[in-house]
Amino acid sequence: MISEKQFLEYQKIIDDIVSCTGGEYDRMTDEEKSIIINISIELKEMLDEIYTEYYPVLCQWAALGEKNSMLN
């Protein structure tokens, strides 16, 4: 999992690229495209890891909430 510091660095890099290109992929250089793709892959892997770990628990909690609302 990435650290908060790394996440903030990624955010700054993405913000810099978006400010130069308007967020339009076609206006990005090949280097900028590569950077955005690599950051996206790493962030997706991190989110997949979090979802795998916590999704079952969240579903259980949500089910409890549904049961409580049915009782009230």
| pTM of structure | 0.70
- The whole-angstrom separation of Cα 21 and Cα 13 is 12
- The whole-angstrom separation of Cα 51 and Cα 3 is 17
How many structural domains compose the chain?
1
- Name residues whose C-beta falls within 8 Å of residue 33's C-beta, 6 or more positions apart in sequence: 25
pLDDT in tens, 16-70: 999 999 999 999 999 999 999 999 999 999 889 888 888 999 889 988 887 666 6
Full domain range(s) for residue 66: 4-71
